Structure 1
Amino acid sequence: MKKNILIIGAGGVGHVVAHKLATAADSVGSLHIASRTIEKCNAIAESVAAKANVEARIVVQTHKLNAFDAAATIDLIRQTEASIVVNVGPSFINLAVLRACIETGAAYIDTAIHEDPQKVCEQPPWYANHEWPLRAECERRGITAILGAGFDPGVVNAYVALAAQDHLDALDSIDIIDVNAGSHGQYFATNFNAEINLREFTGDVWTWQEGRWVANAMFEISRIDDLPIVGRQKSYLTGHDEIHSLSAHFPHADIRFWMGFDEHYITVFEVLKNLGLLSEKPVVLADGTKVVPLQLVKHLLPDPASLAPMYQGKTFIGVLAKGTRDGKPHQVLLYNTCDHADCFTEISSQAIAYTAGVPAAAAALLVGHGDWDIGRMVNVEQLPPRPFLALTAQMGLPTSIVQAPLGNLFGRLHG
């Protein structure tokens, strides 16, 4: 049975989700995209319509929506008769959209953890601060709510689940490595919503090690890896969404997230931070005007969607899982690489948005098909990983797997 799907959020990720779902005429009834800025929705609809090389094309219908207004979101879900809502707007709206889905009975999918605009880097575990308290209500009402169904979080959670099911008898450590080896040609830019992106790096870095939360400073700890496809890359220990659910489901493993940054990015970031320009707290100017520095920086930086035409190079996102197999130390690397230029050729996107949007679209189709329509709230690692990874591969994000005894991953990884 075909499902009506509502996409909330008209940024780069919403662009990808709309393009991918518009090709699924056998699964999608009507497709809708909503945002506060109707012009962005219309631009996505026009982009989808322009891709005439795909035979099965669904018309994207557009709507103006302030998703902070749960009542307005409820009205739109009912108006569109959407049975699945894919929330790819800023993570500040997660709870409002989730509550609207609970009220209407629609399935809920997002790609990032909820954030309180007034707080930066809350005490872990973050899912327990906001989304997880609604688990009981979702189960009581039979609402499917899939949290963090992008790439990281999302596909990497499925990688961990697959590693635990197929490759390791015991899981001792999980290192998630995310490197963008591409170049967009701008002096300084973020690859998705700048306000959300920069907030990630202004507080403590929280990781799960030896059964407890450990705090470090940003850019305090780094590693260097010889990675497949993208080669030798430096990455830094960083807090990230998936650590907070994986630590609950794999509590005996050390869980760390590593993200690549070049020296120029770090220098500009540190200057902005030291000047107070990354603060989420409003400042009052001499004339009484209130300005939030971080929102001003966001306004001045390039729109992430505008980066796509000039982006070159590849991304690497993978999970290095270590443990034992048949009583011997063993490790497995599950990863994807994605080419920025190929993404632009296909759907006028860049690889960061593509890697987040394709899995969200795949999750919506799996819910629609019934595979993931489980009637409760879950994180991706709690779901069967194989259908998800098979569908994301079919939709443009194939997974590669390399495994070996510890200390001998074909000489590729160290540090």
Structure 2
Amino acid sequence: MKRNVLIIGAGGVAQVVAHKCAQNNDVLGDIHIASRTLFKCEAILDSVREKSALKLADGVLQAHRIDAMDSAAVARLIRDTGAGIVINVGSPFVNMTVLDACIETGAAYIDTAIHEEPDKICETPPWYANHEWKKRDICAERGVTAILGAGFDPGVVNAFARFAVDEFMDEVKSIDIVDVNAGSHGHYFATNFDPEINFREFTGTVYTWQGGKWQENRMFEVGRDWDLPVVGTRRAYLCGHDEIHSLAARYPDADVRFWMGFGDHYINVFTVLNNLGLLSEHPVTTAEGLEVVPLKVVKAVLPDPASLAPGYTGKTCIGDLVKGVKDGREVEVFVYNVADHEEAYAEIGSQGISFTAGVPAVAAALLIAEGPWDAKEMKNVEDLDPKPFFTVLDRIGLPTRVRDEQGDRAWNE
């Protein structure tokens, strides 16, 4: 059993991860959190203490300052803390340096999003093959468990797809992942994740896997209305996203698409910012001779996503509509979760988007610590048995449901 957890990052998702690790420290042991900004780490641990979240009250909570781009420094911290599991919820720019540190030390690695290079947006697909999958062989050689994309999307939605195909189909035809946030944060404009990372998702080519090949579209070019549980009918748009790139490899004969909900106001503001060049990752020089990156300036003036939690109302609905064939008959099933912003804030002081991203990473850590997901090699979530994952998620706050011609029910009914 692997014990002791090192959390990399100190944003809204890291807060969720810290709280949920604390609630399960009888299994996960000492809890350490590290980022470039020590005071943010300490504030997260203070929030854990204020909520009396530690299951074992005498458990270790410790903050550290680290530059996660320095792989050797991360490896030293892993050794110094005795961490057996590293949960990387820092910037996607640090994925590979943190992964390399885990490979060096033998610690298990978990992340929630694909690696990105700061100077590149929307690399050629399949994205995982550009960076993470190049380390599969060495992970297997050294027996290092690395679970990629263990957030919600990517992550839980990958497990939804695997479950739907395994349980309900002989052949899968299409996987449509739908992510709708029907909540309201009360600000004129804000992003639910790091604005820099959020905008980078939407300024590049929209890649989807259709007809056995990669298809290219523009952001907001293709939209449709979805009738979803709890949140009702919502407009969502075809987007490029991490999970398409691994699911397409596992299910090459199926169409794999990702849809995200946006309101007209978000689209209008995004379009203006983009058309003005304010979402560019390339430096510009001001009249005063200052070199700035427009995207980083926009990030600096927008609300910190972690600050949105108080007063955030409404719910999210994220799920997979999977279509296929069973016993010669066409079937479809929607596997999904609904999360509540106010409930997330009441429990751990976060908004629902951070909650849905952070809880699955802790579920993955528990499954590594207890054995079922301690694969001793690199895996995407759909490569692993989804049922233990759903069982833990049910227990720690993200229950899975199924809607099909038989009705709407819990996944294990």
**TM-score between the two structures when normalised by the length of structure 1:** 0.96
Q: Give me the whole-angstrom Cα distance separating, in 1, the residues matched to 2:387 and 2:53.
A: 29
Indicate conservation of the 8 Å contact 1:308/1:344, yes or no.
yes
| 2:126 equivalent to 1:125 | yes
Measured after TM superposition, the shift of residue 71 of structure 1 is: 1.0
Indicate conservation of the 8 Å contact 2:208/2:257, yes or no.
yes
Measured after TM superposition, the shift of residue 52 of structure 1 is: 2.4
Q: Give me the whole-angstrom Cα distance separating, in 2, the residues matched to 1:116 and 1:125.
A: 15
Aligned residue for 2:286? 285
Indicate conservation of the 8 Å contact 1:18/1:60, yes or no.
no
| 2:200 equivalent to 1:208 | no
3-state SS of the aligned residue for 2:220?
coil
Aligned residue for 2:153? 152
- Give matches, 1:305-320, under 5 Å: 305-320=306-321
Give the residue type in structure 2 aligned to 1:260: G
| 2:40 equivalent to 1:40 | yes
Aligned residue for 2:362? 361
Give the residue type in structure 2 aligned to 1:15: Q
| 2:74 equivalent to 1:78 | no
Measured after TM superposition, the shift of residue 25 of structure 1 is: 2.8
Measured after TM superposition, the shift of residue 29 of structure 1 is: 1.7
Size of the alignment, in residue pairs?
A: 407
3-state SS of the aligned residue for 2:128?
helix
3-state SS of the aligned residue for 1:310?
coil
% identical equivalent positions: 60
Give the residue type in structure 1 aligned to 2:378: M
Q: Deviations over 1:118-175 (max 9, x none)?
A: 0111111100001101111111111100000000000000011111111111100000
3-state SS of the aligned residue for 1:3?
coil
Measured after TM superposition, the shift of residue 285 of structure 1 is: 1.9
| 2:132 equivalent to 1:97 | no
Give the residue type in structure 2 aligned to 1:392: L
Q: Give me the whole-angstrom Cα distance separating, in 2, the residues matched to 1:242 and 1:89.
A: 19
3-state SS of the aligned residue for 2:184?
coil
Give the residue type in structure 1 aligned to 2:192: N
Aligned residue for 2:180? 179
Q: Deviations over 1:87-131 (max 9, x none)?
A: 000100000000010011111000000001101111111000011
Indicate conservation of the 8 Å contact 1:179/1:316, yes or no.
yes
Aligned residue for 2:13? 13
Aligned residue for 1:25? 25
Q: Name the CA shift for 1:264/1:11 in 2 (closer, same or farther; >3 Å).
A: same
3-state SS of the aligned residue for 2:405?
strand
Aligned residue for 1:162? 163
Q: Give me the whole-angstrom Cα distance separating, in 1, the residues matched to 2:53 and 2:289.
A: 54
3-state SS of the aligned residue for 1:244?
helix
- Give matches, 1:126-145, under 5 Å: 126-145=127-146
Indicate conservation of the 8 Å contact 2:24/2:54, yes or no.
no
Q: Give me the whole-angstrom Cα distance separating, in 2, the residues matched to 1:54 and 1:365.
A: 15
Aligned residue for 2:274? 273
Measured after TM superposition, the shift of residue 55 of structure 1 is: 4.7
Measured after TM superposition, the shift of residue 60 of structure 1 is: 1.9
Measured after TM superposition, the shift of residue 387 of structure 1 is: 0.3
3-state SS of the aligned residue for 1:146?
strand
Q: Give me the whole-angstrom Cα distance separating, in 1, the residues matched to 2:29 and 2:53.
A: 20
Q: Give me the whole-angstrom Cα distance separating, in 2, the residues matched to 1:238 and 1:303.
A: 24
Indicate conservation of the 8 Å contact 2:8/2:34, yes or no.
yes
Q: Give me the whole-angstrom Cα distance separating, in 1, the residues matched to 2:55 and 2:108.
A: 28
Indicate conservation of the 8 Å contact 2:2/2:85, yes or no.
no
- Give matches, 1:207-286, under 5 Å: 207-286=208-287
- Structure 2: which 5+ residue stretches go unaligned? 409-413
Q: Give me the whole-angstrom Cα distance separating, in 2, the residues matched to 1:218 and 1:23.
A: 40
Indicate conservation of the 8 Å contact 1:49/1:59, yes or no.
no
Q: Give me the whole-angstrom Cα distance separating, in 1, the residues matched to 2:96 and 2:25.
A: 30
Give the residue type in structure 2 aligned to 1:76: L
Give the residue type in structure 1 aligned to 2:12: G
Aligned residue for 1:49? 49
3-state SS of the aligned residue for 1:133?
helix
Give the residue type in structure 2 aligned to 1:393: D
Aligned residue for 1:413? none
Give the residue type in structure 1 aligned to 2:222: I
Q: CA RMSD in A?
A: 1.2
3-state SS of the aligned residue for 1:26?
helix
Indicate conservation of the 8 Å contact 1:5/1:84, yes or no.
yes
- Give matches, 1:341-360, under 5 Å: 341-360=342-361
Q: Deviations over 1:357-378 (max 9, x none)?
A: 0000110111111111111111
Q: Give me the whole-angstrom Cα distance separating, in 1, the residues matched to 2:388 and 2:61.
A: 26
Indicate conservation of the 8 Å contact 2:22/2:53, yes or no.
no
Indicate conservation of the 8 Å contact 2:208/2:216, yes or no.
yes
Measured after TM superposition, the shift of residue 53 of structure 1 is: 6.7
Q: Deviations over 1:340-360 (max 9, x none)?
A: 001000110100000000000
Q: Deviations over 1:295-324 (max 9, x none)?
A: 111111000000000100000000000001
- Give matches, 1:366-385, under 5 Å: 366-385=367-386
Q: Name the CA shift for 1:134/1:54 in 2 (closer, same or farther; >3 Å).
A: closer
Q: Give me the whole-angstrom Cα distance separating, in 1, the residues matched to 2:82 and 2:298.
A: 38
Indicate conservation of the 8 Å contact 1:314/1:337, yes or no.
yes
Measured after TM superposition, the shift of residue 23 of structure 1 is: 1.1
Q: Deviations over 1:27-68 (max 9, x none)?
A: 022110001000110000000001127653434210001100
**TM-score between the two structures when normalised by the length of structure 2:** 0.97
- Structure 1: which 5+ residue stretches go unaligned? 411-415
3-state SS of the aligned residue for 2:273?
helix
